Amino acid sequence: MKRFTNKIILVTGSARGIGGASVEQFAEEGGIVYTTDIDMDALTSATQALQARDLKVEALHQDASSEADWATTVATILDKHGRLDVLVNNAGMGQLIPVEDSTLAQWQNVMAVNLESVFLGTRIGIKTMKEKGGVIINVASIAANVAEPLFPAYNATKGGVSMFTKAAAVDCARKGYPVRINSLHPGYCETKLVADAVAGLGNKAEAFVKAVVASIPIGRLATPWEIARPLLFLASDDARYMIGNELVVDGGYIAV
């Protein structure tokens, strides 16, 4: 199935994990995909592997929390193609630090990477797409739906992404812009972000993982591929009547 043939697609924070799996699947379905990250070594390696399969993927350095980087990235795409059809705001970070142990600098860093980046991307995405149309997907998390005492800053950002997405989606619809905006809410997934955050727990890491897995009715963490498939659904015409929705993909975690 080639739902994205010749569609111009931008996925941020996509050197690996959910973003990387999404880039691969968009490209496999005919998309011309721009993959961005701050980790250029990992990004270049992943991109070269996809290019070796004759997939249309280009790597760009981008700090998604930088307004200047957003302007440069989108200008590069528009100069070459004249349009942007799909934007996935996927860049993010996590840290397991309770409220009383968090510093203001740590809080602000998570806000910049997880929330301000989504604002910057959505804003420029709307301005770019409002004439020709397009789709914006903001990757939130079940942390927007269920509180976890160990990552309050992450909870706050993902809750913010969810409500911001709804506000932006309704605004576009009421203005008659042909821009669809929705949020994706993955559960616990086998990604470097999750692994790095859990590693920070030290000798408590194993017990935390066991407790999480025990709380997932399916009984395991998701793979990035399993999160990317629903993401592509949101980006496709199959979801054309969906705006401001939260698509939860969590193995049943928040259902119990």
Give the Cα separation of 190 and 136 in Å (integer): 24
Task: Read off the tokens for 249.
Answer: 């993909």
- Could you give phi then psi for residue 59, rounded to 5 degrees? -100, 135
User: Where exactly are the structural domains of the chain?
Assistant: 8-187+222-248
Task: Please provide the average confidence, as pLDDT, over all residues in the chain.
Answer: 95
- Could you give phi then psi for residue 37, rounded to 5 degrees? -170, 170
pLDDT tens sequence across 111-139:
999 999 999 999 999 999 999 999 999 99
Q: What confidence tier does 52 reach under pLDDT thresholds 50, 70, 90?
A: very high
pLDDT tens sequence across 76-92:
999 999 999 999 999 99
Q: Is the pLDDT confidence value at 230 over 90?
A: yes
Quick one: pLDDT at residue 199?
76
For the residues 50-61, what does the mean pLDDT come to?
Answer: 98
Least confident segment among 10-14, 49-53, 137-141, 186-190? 186-190
Q: Is the pLDDT confidence value at 65 over 80?
A: yes
Q: What confidence tier does 251 reach under pLDDT thresholds 50, 70, 90?
A: very high
Decide: 10 and 38 in contact? Cβ < 8 Å. Answer: no
Show the CA angle centred on residue 255, arms to residues 218 and 225, nearest 5°: 45
* CATH architecture for segment(s) 8-187+222-248: 3-Layer(aba) Sandwich (3.40)
For the residues 98-109, what does the mean pLDDT come to?
Answer: 95
Percentage of residues in the chain with pLDDT exceeding 70?
A: 100
pLDDT tens sequence across 162-221:
999 999 999 999 999 999 999 999 999 988 777 777 777 788 778 888 888 999 999 999
Give the Cα separation of 80 and 76 in Å (integer): 7
Q: Is the pLDDT confidence value at 106 over 80?
A: yes
Q: Specify whether 34 is catalytic.
A: no
For the residues 221-232, what does the mean pLDDT come to?
Answer: 97
Q: Which residues of 184-217 are buried (b: 16+ CB within 10 A; e: fewer)?
A: bbbbbbbbebbeebbeeeeeeeeeebeebeebbe
Catalytic residue among 34, 154, 188, 253: 154
Report the predicted TM-score, pTM, of the whole model to 2 decimal places.
Answer: 0.95
